[in-house]
Amino acid sequence: MYKIKTYNQISIKGLERFARQTYEVGSDIGHPDAFLIRSQKLQGMDLPPSLLAVARAGAGVNNVPVAEYGKRGIVVFNTPGANANAVKELVMAGMLLATRDILGGLAYVQSLTAMTDAGEMSALLEKEKSRFAGGEIKGKTLGIVGLGAIGSLVADMALAMGMKVVGFDPALSIDAAWRLSSDVQRMENLSMLLSRSDYVSLHVPAMDATRHLINAEALASIRTGAVLLNFARESIVDSAAVLASLNAGKLGRYVCDFPEPALLGHKRVIAMPHIGASTEESEENCAVMAANQLMDYLENGNITNSVNFPAVSMSRTPGTSRITFSNDNVAGVLGHVLSVLADSKVNVIDMMNKSRGDLAFNIIDVESRPDDAVAAAIAAVEHVIRVRVI
């Protein structure tokens, strides 16, 4: 029986994916095969030797020491795209809040609680409503930085609202390129996008290369009065540079999902309490995707949406056994493992080998289940990290 230890509150829709006859799931599981988490920070946590995988029900994995886990042969999964629609809709809300003084109007109405005459209130609102006038987003240009699962949905939404869309993504994948509308104009660099956009929406992951991507130098290129929206990660934006640009009259508004003390109270900042993925549907989608990926890995050794190992998936031949192993991505390891199997008279039926950066992962289907001595011999091969027989 596989054991799944959960952290945080995981949607019941995801937990129901684990068949009771095959899985034990709970927050107090000992010797777990996998963790299923949301925001739980795993840095510095003692790991049980039994741990094979971690699934993050969400896209960001900054709460997981991904590289360290890879060196231990622990596969880390995330759920890209599962919360994309929720974030997309909040981006639209952010653009509208920044364009029309909806918040100011709401606050003004709520300040009129002393009034008792509906006619008098109606006349007053008719007189004062011009104070809250704004603009329209139709015909304006939205610049999207990062054209993955969320960025492409934001692009489609903006186009449907009559906006022009330009995009910049130096790491655009082939799959993402296929999803992207041909009406999105690709920009050669970030500076070009910033100079042409009335709105700029950020949708890149948090990593060393994107830390303070939006800084003083970048904001010098932004169109005067533009709205910057950050529903990605706080580290992508240098908040001090944003405040300086706002105070100088260069940046028009900053809308973000990551409040910081320095941002609070500024009249041109709209800060939300990290609610981009906080919808019932999003949490269900993330939990279901995470559970499915864990089950496929534990039961079949297949890897989908890992952030530290390559994507590897191979159908199983009935009646065979499966060996999987991870290793340092150096020459000769697979050959040595195949020699071990040949010396042990283990017949290979099918196999697949994939690599990603410094790590590689292998699936080998064999005619009959190898004994423990064969698995131990594979584990003893230099640069092999972890071996499983499924």
Taking residues 327-347, what's their average pLDDT?
Answer: 97
For every residue of 223-288, DSSP letters joined together read: PTT-EEEE-S-GGGB-HHHHHHHHHTTSS-EEEESS--GGGTT-TTEEE--S-TT-SHHHHHHHHH
* Long-range contacts, 119-128 (Cβ 8 Å, 24+): none
Residue 274 annotated as catalytic: yes
Beta carbons within 10 angstroms of residue 111's beta carbon: 9
**Scanning the structure block, which residue is given the tokens 């290129």?**
221
- Rounded-to-integer distance, Cα 193 and Cα 332, Å: 46
**Scanning the structure block, which residue is given the tokens 């709460």?**
63
Integer Rg of the chain from CA? 26
For every residue of 10-46, DSSP letters joined together read: --HHHHTTS-TTTEEEETT-SS-SEEEESS---TTPP
Per the prediction, the chain carries an average pLDDT of 96
pLDDT band at residue 174 using 50, 70 and 90 as cut-offs: confident
170 burial type by CB count under 10 A (0-12 exposed, 13-18 middle, 19+ buried): exposed
Per-residue model confidence as pLDDT tens digits over 4-60: 999 999 999 999 999 999 999 999 999 999 999 998 999 999 999 999 999 999 888
Query: What percent of the chain is modeled with pLDDT above 90?
Result: 92
Answer yes or no: are the C-beta atoms of 5 and 26 closer than 8 Å.
yes
pLDDT band at residue 149 using 50, 70 and 90 as cut-offs: confident
Using CA atoms, how far residue 344 sits from 251, 338, 378, in Å, is 68, 10, 11
**Which tokens is 123 given?**
């006349």
**Which tokens is 269 given?**
């900042």
Residue 260 annotated as catalytic: yes
- Rounded-to-integer distance, Cα 258 and Cα 4, Å: 31
- Rounded-to-integer distance, Cα 232 and Cα 212, Å: 12
**Which tokens is 204 given?**
């890149």
**Which tokens is 163 given?**
């906006």
Residue 281 annotated as catalytic: no
Taking residues 331-343, what's their average pLDDT?
Answer: 97
Q: With CA atoms as reference, report the closest residue to 217 among 187, 195, 186, 185.
A: 195
- Rounded-to-integer distance, Cα 123 and Cα 141, Å: 37
Answer yes or no: are the C-beta atoms of 316 and 300 closer than 8 Å.
yes
Annotated catalytic residue within 24, 89, 260, 299: 260
- Rounded-to-integer distance, Cα 62 and Cα 59, Å: 9
Annotated catalytic residue within 17, 100, 179, 274: 274
pLDDT at 295: 98
pLDDT at 219: 98
Ramachandran region of residue 162, left (φ > 0), alpha (ψ -120 to 50) or beta? left
pLDDT band at residue 205 using 50, 70 and 90 as cut-offs: confident
pLDDT band at residue 129 using 50, 70 and 90 as cut-offs: very high
Mean pLDDT check: name the lowest of 106-110, 203-207, 309-313, 341-345. Answer: 203-207
pLDDT at 72: 97
Annotated catalytic residue within 56, 223, 233, 322: 233
